[in-house]
Amino acid sequence: MSVVIATLLYLGLGVFVIGCVYWVWRYASIPAPLNMPTMPAPTTRCGVALRILRETVLFESLFKASKWTWIFGWLFHASLLFVVLCHLRFFVDPVWGWVNVISPYSRYAGIVLFFSLAGLLLRRIVIARVRYISVPSDYLMLLMLMCLAGSGLLMRYKYYIDLYTLRNFALGLGSFSFNVLPPSAMLLVHLLMVAVLLLVFPISKLTHAIGVFFSPSRNQRDNTRAKRYVNRWDS
Amino acid sequence: MVNNTDKKSFITPDASVKLSIPEIEESASKHLAPFKASAEHQAALGFPDRLIDNWKDVAIEKLGELSGKYRGLRVYLDSCVNCGACTDKCHYFLGTGDPKNMPVARQNLMRKVYRRYYTFAGRTVPWLVGAEDLTEEVLDDWYTYFNQCSQCRRCSVYCPYGIDTAEVSMAAREIMDTIGVGQKYSNEVIGKVHKLGNNLGLPGPALANTLEGLEEDVLEETGVAVKFPLDQKDADILLVTPSADFFAEPHVDGLIGYAKVLHQAGISWTFSSTASEAANFGLFIGSYDNMQQIASRIKDAALELNVKRIVFGECGHAWRVAYNYLNTLAGPFDFLDPKYPMPQHIVEVTYDLIQQGRLHLDASANDDKRVTFHDSCNIARASGMAGIKGGQLSVPRDVLKTVCNHFYDMRSNTIGEATFCCGGGGGLLTDDLLELRVKGALPRMQALQELHDKHNITHMAAMCAICKSQFAKVLPYYGFEMDQIISVHQLVGDALVMQR
């Protein structure tokens, strides 16, 4: 079993990494013929970096748009990041000090993660406008992440697993040695969902994580009068 | 709901209630498609004169070509997560309730086709990701709903990834033009610019005549011989203004304002008979080539007339093209005086002159007016001014406050970067879309009504030819008078004390 799961995880990771590199390369290789930031826009590179930082860390535009979507969306992304960082304790040896500091809080972050996803799902079902634009994959994506978070929480609170064995398995992945997995259906669900998430990332709307950095309305400067903007395909 | 007393067959929404999000009503504005371009108008722009036989293949290929040519389009088509942040931001949705006027739903009309033919998931499991084949019904929806977008970019302000529906609708219109389905209003206008130099099809001699008439009017009214020069070589400034300024109301009073300001400042300037139009409808139809040709006329005229500066009159999308695109499309402009930005907006020129104390202004001349300001979408969200962040919002207000003692702003989520489109931008200022224009103006009318109830507003100033024409038409539907829309430079001109 551990070989099957490990293979799936390698495959997922491979697709994820290659996919992300592909999209970065693809977007970078397409010209942006005209300067069209959404104004008012920063005039310097540094200003653009700050704007994108505010977008990716604080979700500034979403905050302007809809407070509920912002709360659920921001909590989801923030708690996911937090939980993923806490998982480093399975993968690094010896465990970094700061990971030890934050790890105990992952039990709470996991709950936030699950309920923010539930909030996003509820919103998608309840608000007629959002229901109108939703397609099956929008719901499935949320359900998949809820499975991921839910199985993790169940292992944390109810169906305990042997973390020492799990850590051995995880550490082994780095050196292609397939150590045994603790026997747990929850864990299988959890790891399967991780693999699925990694696999669908580059072929789904999840590429927004890359697109946001290439969006001309956010990453261009308001400087056309100071410096002529040249179109790559018009010379 | 208020029933219109005239013969119009639709009901004008009620602007006296607070802005609220409507219930979605499927196909509420499906019947509002603009007239299609005739064979003649299509041919004049080099587009097929009717729907070509293999339109499906050509459209799909064009979609692929454009998504490989415009990074924005590609990122926008890929990145949407259907979060719904934009769903209540479009004035056409707020005015009609048609769900396909929600920005994401509008984009999805193209996105579903893009997914079907150009993404792995859409090709293998279309039902899962909402991918669909391009069919006649889809094309009909494209024509209807991509011509119900005024490309005002309000949705892009609120999108967490900055997805700009304007770019998507421009691409859609370009694809439709390529297969022979053009929109009459835009394509007819572009034909006139190419042929005669301006959108109204006003030939040089008629323009000269009009300008002479204006000189007589101003002389009679003020006793000062203010000139409206045409094709005057070696002038300092080439003034490029929307052709509506030459005779439409209230535009022409703005034009008189520009002339008075330049006259008082003692700056020599001229119009050009070949570049007698600031507007660039090439933007609206997403045609880089048309946009570039129209922009190049201005450079040619500047070279021919040997001017030192280029200044644009009050126009929204023209200022977007001028500010952000002109140098890219037709540059470099290194023959102009480097002391001045290229190009400049007339309100920046006036602002500078005020700062330098070169204009004597008496705001009490406008004491009979209580004024607010409508931020035009392309100025607010797609351009800048005066080299200061947000200058496009602050400069016109500073000028207005200098020339009016009674100035009030509308509710903050309806102005500035959040401004609502007038309802007639992006190539929709045509009477075959009147119902859409009236309904699309609802959010602006609500904000105006609210401010009017509080401060008894008499006039709304704007600096965009489309906004002015649109409001002159739709204000009466909401119980206002058509002359309550006014040019910024009319107020400047009226406050200006003519000293020579």
Smallest CA–CA distance from A24 into chain B, residue:
B75
- Distance (Å) from the alpha carbon of A228 to chain B's nearest alpha carbon: 6
Closest alpha carbon to B175 in B39, B71, B56:
B56
Task: Show residues of chain B in contact with A31, CB under 8 Å.
Answer: 69-71
- Per the structure block, which two tokens stand in for B107? 């984009």
Phi, psi of A103 (to 5 degrees): -50, -45
Average pLDDT over residues B118-135: 98
What percent of chain B has pLDDT above 90? 94
pLDDT at B8: 56
In this predicted structure, the answer to whether residue B201 has a pLDDT above a threshold of 90 is no
Instruction: Identify the bridge partners of residue B361 per DSSP, sorted by sequence position.
Output: B496
Smallest CA–CA distance from A134 into chain B, residue:
B82
Phi, psi of A161 (to 5 degrees): -125, 165
Q: Is B487 on the interface with A (CB under 8 A)?
A: no
- According to DSSP, the β-strands at B344-345 and B237-240 are unpaired
Residues in chain B: 500
Residue B462 is classified by DSSP as E
- Per the structure block, which two tokens stand in for B472? 């002159």
Cis, peptide link before residue B205, omega less than 30° from 0: no
In this predicted structure, the answer to whether residue B7 has a pLDDT above a threshold of 80 is no
pLDDT at B361: 97
What distance lies between CA B76 and its chain's CA centroid? 22
In this predicted structure, the answer to whether residue B489 has a pLDDT above a threshold of 90 is yes
Q: Is residue A62 part of a domain?
A: yes
- Distance (Å) from the alpha carbon of A97 to chain B's nearest alpha carbon: 34
- Distance (Å) from the alpha carbon of A227 to chain B's nearest alpha carbon: 9
Question: Rounded CA gap, B430 and B91, in Å?
Answer: 17
Of B108, B159, B324, the CB nearest to A61: B159
Average pLDDT over residues B390-414: 97
pLDDT at B6: 45
Q: Is residue A200 part of a domain?
A: yes
Q: A45: phi > 0 → left, psi -120 to 50 → alpha, else beta; which?
A: alpha
Given pLDDT bands bounded at 50, 70 and 90, which one contains residue B176? very high
Average pLDDT over residues B181-190: 97
pLDDT (tens digit, 9 = 90+) per residue, B326-339? Answer: 999 998 999 999 99
CB neighbour list of residue B377: distance below 8 Å, 6 or more residues apart? B150, B152, B153, B154, B316, B419, B421, B422, B425
pLDDT (tens digit, 9 = 90+) per residue, B284-314? Answer: 999 999 999 999 999 999 999 999 999 999 9
| CB B71, CB B183: distance < 8 Å | no
Cβ atoms within 10 A of the Cβ of B429, count? 23
What distance lies between CA B470 and its chain's CA centroid? 10
| CB A222, CB B386: distance < 8 Å | no
Closest alpha carbon to B227 in B264, B273, B202, B278:
B264
Question: Rounded CA gap, B465 and A139, in Å?
Answer: 45
Task: Show residues of chain A in contact with B79, CB under 8 Å.
Answer: 205, 207-208, 211-212, 215
Q: What type of residue is A72?
A: F
CATH (domain of A18): 1.20.950.20
A65:B119 CB<8 A: no
pLDDT (tens digit, 9 = 90+) per residue, A172-196? Answer: 998 999 999 999 999 999 999 999 9
CB neighbour list of residue A6: distance below 8 Å, 6 or more residues apart? A169, A173, A178
In this predicted structure, the answer to whether residue B214 has a pLDDT above a threshold of 50 is yes
pLDDT at B202: 86
Over chain B, what is the mean pLDDT? 96
In this predicted structure, the answer to whether residue B443 has a pLDDT above a threshold of 50 is yes
User: How many domains does one find in chain A?
Assistant: 1
| CB A153, CB A114: distance < 8 Å | yes
Smallest CA–CA distance from A57 into chain B, residue:
B160
B157:A205 CB<8 A: no
Inter-chain Cβ pairs, chain A and chain B, closer than 8 A: 207
Question: Rounded CA gap, B184 and A130, in Å?
Answer: 34
DSSP secondary structure letters along B346-377: HHHHHHHHHHTT-S-B-GGGGTT--EEE---H
Q: Is residue A37 part of a domain?
A: yes
- According to DSSP, the β-strands at B269-270 and B309-312 are unpaired
Of A33, A42, A225, the CB nearest to B70: A33
| CB B183, CB A89: distance < 8 Å | no
CATH 1.10.1060 for domain B39-182: yes
Q: What b/e readout covers A42-54, taking b as 16+ CB neighbours within 10 angstroms?
A: bbeeeebeebbee
Question: Rounded CA gap, B74 and A208, in Å?
Answer: 11
B390:A65 CB<8 A: no
Average pLDDT over residues B453-476: 98
Q: Is the dihedral of CA B330, B335, B341, B344 positive or negative?
A: negative
pLDDT (tens digit, 9 = 90+) per residue, B231-281? Answer: 999 999 999 999 999 989 999 999 999 999 999 999 999 999 999 999 999
pLDDT at A235: 62
Structure-token match 């994820």, residue found = A16
Closest alpha carbon to A196 in A15, A3, A24:
A15
Q: Which H or E run includes A63? A: helix A60-65
pLDDT at B499: 81
Q: Half-sphere exposure (CA, 13 Å, Cβ side) for A90?
A: 17
Q: Is B409 on the interface with A (CB under 8 A)?
A: no
In this predicted structure, the answer to whether residue A202 has a pLDDT above a threshold of 60 is yes
| CB A116, CB A83: distance < 8 Å | no
Compute the C-alpha angle B224/B230/B236, nearest 5°.
80
pLDDT (tens digit, 9 = 90+) per residue, A150-177? Answer: 999 999 999 999 999 999 999 999 899 9
Of B68, B70, B102, the CB nearest to A129: B102
Closest alpha carbon to B311 in B338, B343, B341:
B343
Given pLDDT bands bounded at 50, 70 and 90, which one contains residue B3? very low
Average pLDDT over residues B457-470: 98
pLDDT (tens digit, 9 = 90+) per residue, A82-107? Answer: 999 999 999 998 999 999 999 999 99
| CB B226, CB B499: distance < 8 Å | no
On the 0-12 / 13-18 / 19+ scale of CB atoms within 10 A, A2 is middle
Instruction: Identify the bridge partners of residue B271 per DSSP, sorted by sequence position.
Output: B230
Closest alpha carbon to B376 in B312, B331, B333:
B312
A228:B288 CB<8 A: no
CB neighbour list of residue A200: distance below 8 Å, 6 or more residues apart? A141, A206
Q: What is the ipTM of this complex?
A: 0.96
B160:A231 CB<8 A: no
Task: Show residues of chain A in contact with B332, CB under 8 Å.
Answer: 228
In Å, the largest CA–CA distance within chain B is 76
Question: Rounded CA gap, B149 and B93, in Å?
Answer: 10
Domain limits for position A182: 2-219
- Per the structure block, which two tokens stand in for A160? 């305990």
- Per the structure block, which two tokens stand in for A56? 């990716």
On the 0-12 / 13-18 / 19+ scale of CB atoms within 10 A, A162 is middle
Of B76, B331, B417, the CB nearest to A228: B331
What SS3 class is residue A117?
Answer: helix
Question: Rounded CA gap, B488 and B492, in Å?
Answer: 7
Q: Give the domain ranges of chain B.
A: 39-182, 197-408+457-495
Average pLDDT over residues B311-329: 97
